[in-house]
Structure 1
Amino acid sequence: MKKAIFLLTAIVLLMASFKNADSEIKNKVVAKNFVHDILQTTSGEKLIDKSDCSSCHTKLETMIGPAYLEIAQKYKPTEKNINNLTTKIIKGGNGVWGTVPMAPHTTIKKEDAKKMVKYILAVKND
């Protein structure tokens, strides 16, 4: 009887340790993805600062184009929205925010435009 209880306890502890290991791995993956997203957001902000975006946009106030905050409020950061807005930066567009068209930025690489979009969609009203 003592052997059965000991064996059962050992099995339960072993199973619990695997569950904890799974949780630790999942937590590390989530943390790694969070750090990756933060770095992309920061690099997106730097790319925007180096571009001509500020001639039409600001973070909080509407100018010629919408504020980044307005864009972030309108679009959820889904993969579909990120891809659509990335294309809009590169190819330009019109009609969504009024009559003034957004000029195309054909020299911006797709990966860079995607980082810029991720930054814009992360803007919150501070």
Structure 2
Amino acid sequence: MKKLFLTSVLAVLTVASCSKKEETIDPANQPESNVMLEEKPTTEPEPVAALTPEEEGKQLVEGADCLSCHKVDAKLVGPSYQEVAAKYTEADIDKLATKIIDGGKGVWGEIPMTPHAGLSPDNAKLMVKYILSTKK
């Protein structure tokens, strides 16, 4: 019986000494040295340069399937961007953006350009601005 009692007492003491005590910390009583350990930025982060519409358009063109049919300086399946830029002006941006979205055929030959219905009109206009910027 003594062994059972002593084992029980020992188990309770072990559990009590090993359990983690949670203390509530009052921030007002914190030593000032802890505040000094916080890392504070010494300078403002540099602003990221905004892309021009042509640069944004180039990124959109490179991220889409355009380069499978078009090149900047040579005819592939469709006309080169430089050929398109030589034929059209800034006044044609809306017309060309619509052509990118809706697709079409007949202007550059009988092979149709596939529609890009998921493309927003604003992004299509940025793509056109890039294409027109390739003019020689």
Q: TM-score range by the shorter chain?
A: 0.5 to 0.7
Residue 84 of structure 1 corresponds to: 95
Name which of 107, 110, 122 aligns with 2:118. Answer: 107
The root-mean-square deviation of aligned C-alpha atoms, in Å, is: 1.3
Residue identity matched to 1:90: I
TM-score (norm 1): 0.66
Q: Which consecutive unaligned segments of at least 5 residues does structure 2 have?
A: 1-49
Of 79, 85, 92, 1:72 maps to: 85
Aligned-partner Cα distance in 2 for 1:53–1:86: 13
Count of residue pairs brought into register by the alignment: 87
Higher helix share: 1
Partner in structure 1 of residue 76 of structure 2: 63
Larger Rg, first or second structure (1 or 2): 2
Q: Give the match for residue 42 of structure 1.
A: 55
CA distance in 2, matches of 1:75, 1:45: 18
User: 2:96 & 2:63 partners in 1: Cα distance?
Assistant: 19
* Distance in 2 (alpha carbons) for counterparts of 1:84 and 1:51: 19
Task: Indicate the residue corresponding to 1:54 in structure 2.
Answer: 67
Q: CA deviation at 1:85?
A: 0.3
Displacement over 6 Å in runs of 4+? none
